[in-house]
Structure 1
Amino acid sequence: MTSEPVASPGAPHPSTVRFILTLSCPDKPGIVRGVTGFLDDRGFDIAEHQQFDDHVGGRLFLRTAISGGEPGETLEGLQAAFSQLAGEFDMDFTFHDGRAQRVLVMVSKFGHCLNDLIYRWRSGTLGADLVAVVSNHEDLRPMAEAAGLQFIHIPVTAATKPAAEERLREVINEYRADVVVLARYMQVLSNQLTNALHGRAINIHHSFLPGFKGAKPYHQAYARGVKMVGATAHYVTESLDEGPIIEQEVFRVDHVPDADALARIGRDAEALALARAITWHCQHRILLNNTRTVVFR
């Protein structure tokens, strides 16, 4: 069993928000009235409320942050009490507490995204708690350990990939990771693992998807003479670089930069897009809508 860091320098400060409700359901009259009535009956105040009516898909998406309520109210109690109303409207719902989400970061040799996440975590602006770093190389061990993070080296070859993924599953469980972040982790996860991590694994791809999927996207972009270079943070699925998009960042370029220069420019876009995606996910601001996402910023 690997030990865990004792302090959490990037954990969010306590706030008045006790719980966050996220839900989606078929859109019909009475949903919001039912939700707000339920919360009012239990003594809660609404600190933040956002909703989206998907008129194409016919679904309502909702995020409500609440404060107050009875002192003894529990997450489990809210889930159980809300189930009756949820059944009436065929809701997929979850109540979340204010606990900082635990983030396991996976890297290979590029350290710009990890370095940015460490800075945001240590400064308290990430809105989540980094708990460990996993890598298939040793290159970034000094960076992780200097930040007080456990560094777990899991080498991967074609022959050892099944065993490596089994070890990765053990690490995810050991550190009770809520979110797994592929911060330029240059390995493709198996379908079995991506399914097990559905909705809680975030990847940063170094192109403005859906363009330039797969390897060497900056070289592909240079060959096409792009005038904007970008990065895409998305959920990991079985289909490579095709998971639901969370956030994208772009920079305008001209004919001067070659492929290596585009890669240097693009690293800033990668760090920005990934950090926003992690923060929004850990604040429960992202709801899956089939192949798309609803992001309540």
Structure 2
Amino acid sequence: MRATWAVLAVVVMASSARAEENPAAREVMSHMTRGARNTRVGDWVTYRFDGGAGGQRVYYWRMAVVGEEKDKQGRDAVWVEMEAGTHPAMKSPLMQMRMLVAREGEQIQYDAISRLYVGNPTDRPQEYSQEALDHVLKKMGQEAKDDKLPHPDEDKEPLPVGLKPVLRSKKESRVMTLAGTVSAVQLELVVKKTVVKRMWISREIPLMQLAKMEIPGIAHSMEVAEYGVDAKPRMVLPPPSAPKVRLEYADSVFPNLPDMDAPQDAAPEEASP
């Protein structure tokens, strides 16, 4: 999940007050305000991840909004399904998740998950108990914090001259992707003269607004492969009376997706029962 939260951090940053201070964030905001539409039920997007090794470490990740209802706190919320596998059409997926996520207006609050189901090739989907869900959310929140792009005002200790990461942008342009050509703004995270991470943010791509991501140093990449507006629920949910995942099994059942920022030896691991 680390790559996912890293991308979300970029998008959130661009919509915050910092957009007034950061030229790169201002460029993203300017791009997004020219025709970006709000997320709706039915939106979906599939990404292709390449972990290097001549294409031997390729897998796909799909995200879709498949329903809406009120959550336990009475907030407007949407059901978001995620799948990962080695086939773009998610034949025999290695992982499935379905979560109820609150939204404010039309913006999905990815840190406000109130229900969670997880399935894998060997076990039927199970819902997480509240204790297990709280544990997973705490873990995911820490990963998001670790991946968050640094801001000069947040540095506890000054970094040596030249080592402070700099986020820079280019003007909106047309970019080719596996899903076709889209308008996008290129962002680069640079340390000294080295590009650590390169991203293309596009208002045309639903949900995450990410067209591409590259990590040149380790030859890893992520690129939109398909997207659309006709998503339907695909996870077969267990009956309400089915046992839930308990706290002691939360980590073993929760899928361990590869981290884009680190070398990978394989596609996503199959979750343990």
Indicate the TM-score class for this superposition, using the shorter chain for normalisation.
under 0.3
Greater fraction of residues in helix:
1
Q: RCO greater where, 1 or 2, for CA within 8 Å and sep 6 or more?
A: 2
Q: TM-score, normalised by structure 2?
A: 0.25
Q: TM-score, normalised by structure 1?
A: 0.24
Greater fraction of residues in strand:
2
